[in-house]
Amino acid sequence: MRHKTISDGGTHSKVIHSARCQECKARVRKLLTKLYDICEVNHSFPWFSTPEAYRGSAVGEILQVVFKSLGHYRGYQEFIKALQMPPCDFYLPRMSLLVEFDESQHFTRARRITLEQYRPEVPVGFSVPQWISLCNTIVAVDDDPPDRDERRAWYDTLRDLLPCIHGFKPTVRVYSEAFRWCTLEVNSKDAVAQFRSLIKGLPEPPAASR
């Protein structure tokens, strides 16, 4: 359920919005489809997940630094469990663009460590300082399995940095609690315009979709 209703003891009730509102993520997908025609969910790419695979590439050095920093954080050295980068939340094939919908569990100390290694010459489609600030504020912890935070931070790093070496646009990230996305009506031009204004990095949609 995306909401729950509680009584105030009288004739009125209040609707409380859940921090993990599933309709919010679904609405973001619908809005992306409205803007860019096709929005694939949980799309996979055949991109290797180990830093060694990118030696000599534009992101190879950064990935090595991120990998070592995560390993030093709590001593977990074998947090890469998948042979390939796990699927992304949304993929816009007409734009060659990944869009990630970040809920609170993505904002951890491990994620902050990765973001602090990013460099301006490797562009991303979101505000790195804002994401670091959210990591410092939320400080989420997921210890099941024990190295879950390191895994999630590493895979997020891959989704941020690998697209640029494959000719994709910089990855866009949406903070789940930045707005009540489920309140935006897909068929409202004003709502669609508001959606675009709220998210840094979204490209101009194809002419046919405007």
Distance CA 172, CA 182 (A): 19
Structurally, how many domains does the chain consist of? 1
The answer to whether residue 6 sits within a structural domain is no
The answer to whether residue 10 sits within a structural domain is no
The answer to whether residue 2 sits within a structural domain is no
How does pLDDT run across 109-122, given as a tens digit for each residue? 999 999 999 998 88
The answer to whether residue 11 sits within a structural domain is no
Per the structure, the complete domain to which residue 196 belongs is given by 22-209
How does pLDDT run across 28-40, given as a tens digit for each residue? 999 999 999 999 9
Where do runs of H (alpha helix) occur along the chain? 22-36, 60-74, 109-115, 128-138, 148-161, 189-198
How does pLDDT run across 201-210, given as a tens digit for each residue? 999 998 755 5
pLDDT at 9: 46
pLDDT at 14: 47
The answer to whether residue 62 sits within a structural domain is yes
Distance CA 94, CA 114 (A): 29
* Identity of residue 145: P
Question: Which among 116, 120, 117, 123 is positioned nearest to 173, based on CA atoms?
Answer: 123
pLDDT at 210: 54
pLDDT at 105: 97
pTM of the shown model:
0.90
Q: Which residues contact 149 (CB under 8 A, 6 or more apart)?
A: 108, 109, 110, 111, 140, 141, 142, 143
Q: Which parts of the chain register pLDDT below 50?
A: 1-14
pLDDT at 11: 43
Widest Cα–Cα separation across the chain: 67
The answer to whether residue 17 sits within a structural domain is no
